Amino acid sequence: MKYSIISETPIAKGGMLEIEVELLREIEGDKLPPITAQFYNKEKEECWWVVLGDPIRSVVLAIKRQIVGKCSKLTLKTKLNESGICNMKLYLICDSYMGCDQEKDIGVEVK
């Protein structure tokens, strides 16, 4: 997972934060095979949740569900209403496999 902040910084109080997230997956071919799960009797695609959150306040600021091929891009947007340094976390959570989730710290100045 890579991310970049699209919004001009510092962000004005009440302004929008836009983050572009790029998800890369090492696979052969262009499409992932379906998930094989012992207790799930149907074919299932591998899906990922990209979540922007404030862990101190336990608030989800933006969330998107994404099916990933070799490379996928998405944009998360949220409004920032408090001045100062806004510390957030960007989470990448897989709904199909355990142990491959990721998180990144993000800090943005809001004036």
What is the per-residue pLDDT for 16? 94
- Comparing C-alpha atoms, which of 103, 73, 110 is closest to residue 89? 103
Sequence length of the chain is 111
Instruction: Name the residue among 91, 95, 90 with its Cα closest to residue 108.
Output: 90
pTM equals 0.87
- CB atoms inside a 10 Å sphere around CB 54: 15
| Average pLDDT score over residue span 67-74 | 86
Residue of 12, 14, 17 whose CA lies nearest to 87 = 17
* Cα gap 16→35, rounded to integer Å: 37
pLDDT in tens, 88-97: 999 999 988 8
Per-residue model confidence as pLDDT tens digits over 43-66: 888 889 999 999 999 999 999 999
Strand ranges of the sheet holding 102-110, from the earlier edge strand across to the other edge: 59-67, 47-54, 84-94, 102-110
Q: What is the spatial distance between Cα 9 and Cα 71, in angstroms, rounded to a whole number?
A: 27
Q: Are 79 and 59 contacting, i.e. CB atoms less than 8 angstroms apart?
A: no
Which domains are delineated in the chain? 2-110 (2.60.40.150)
